[in-house]
Amino acid sequence: MSADTLTRGADVSSAQGKRDVRPPQRIRIGLLGCGTVGRGVVQLVERERDRIRERHGVELAIERILVRDLAKPRPGIDRRLLTTRATEVLDAHCDLIVEVVGGVHCAGAYVRRAIANGRHVVTANKALLAECGRDLFAAAGRRGVTIGFEASVCGGIPIIRAIRDGLSADTIDEVRGVLNGTSNYILTRIESDGLSFDDALRLAQERGFAEADPSLDIDGQDAAQKLRILASLAFGEPIVRGSIAGIRGVTRDDVERARDRGFVIRQVATARRVAGGIELRVAPEECPASDPLAFVRDEFNAVVVKARAAGEITLIGRGAGSGPTASAVVSDVIGIRSC
């Protein structure tokens, strides 16, 4: 291939990445929640505003932000945007609502009201989607709005788009992954540093990877919620059986014995086709060195998708945190309003 050919290709690529000269479309965002992820969304919008306008032809503007405590210091956040009244966000003249408050009951009520008001919604709330996703998507379909939820599974890893769009023409037989960064961090520290489970958990808490009550993570519930979301996308078939086991019982001796045989222990979440529907399983597994999941360390996540035509596809990245999750949220915002 000649240098001219490469140059022409670059010119075409550059031209495709630019919008026409029409004024950018203004997207007014109502933000529910200003914790770690919410602040990350605000910071990312501010930092990338010019690039997003030039590349995607949209102007992002955060109009109102729901918080619990107005007095809490929030460096870099315009205090004039803050409110403790959800209706001031949900019923304002916003084009789109971003929900990052977490939980199920209040968040569910907020999302339902946003949909009833004809607003598109972007959420990072895996618990809400795992419990109420079917009803929420049905309501959104009736109202003619969209729910973006890339950030609900594996943070900045674009696994939702990969399954929903990239593999839309293919049949998926299995989705398997390390979906919980807290458990993976604990297992990695036991493996690499020789820590006990309790010491590795304390270290994870000190470094902000684990909550004060880590039960949701180490008992497998967090991974199970994410797995249900992925399974609903990948298969669209009934779940006929499932099991959940966490890493709480994994010891340093277990890790060392596995390593002596050439294996590593990971908390693995698997959804696969079986007779009559789909089987879901979350449990500690011994992974051989050749397994893509064996390479995933610390707070990183990975998902392996097995499709009949495309074969095996592996995505690896940071599964949580302000930056990766905010990236997925803002990507959904742009995707919904750029269509």
Residues with catalytic roles:
226
Q: DSSP secondary-structure letter at 23?
A: P
Cα angle 20, 22, 25; round to 5? 110
Beta bridge partners of 17: none
- Name residue 52's amino acid: I
Structural contact between residues 51 and 24, judged by C-beta atoms closer than 8 angstroms? no
The whole-angstrom distance between residue 31's C-alpha and the CA centroid of its chain comes to 17
Strand bridging mode 239-244 / 277-288: parallel
Q: Give, to the nearest 10 degrees, the angle between helix 252-260 and helix 181-193.
A: 70
d(CA 128, CA 333) in angstroms, rounded, equals 19
Nearest to 117 by CA among 136, 94, 99, 84: 94
HEC letters along 126-168: HHHHHHHHHHHHHHHHHHCCCEECHHHCCCCCCHHHHHHHHCC
Q: How far apart are the first and last CA of the chain?
A: 35
d(CA 80, CA 65) in angstroms, rounded, equals 9
d(CA 75, CA 123) in angstroms, rounded, equals 23
d(CA 180, CA 85) in angstroms, rounded, equals 33
Specify the 3-state DSSP secondary structure of 57: coil
Nearest to 62 by CA among 21, 40, 325: 40
Specify the 3-state DSSP secondary structure of 110: helix
Strand bridging mode 96-99 / 25-32: parallel
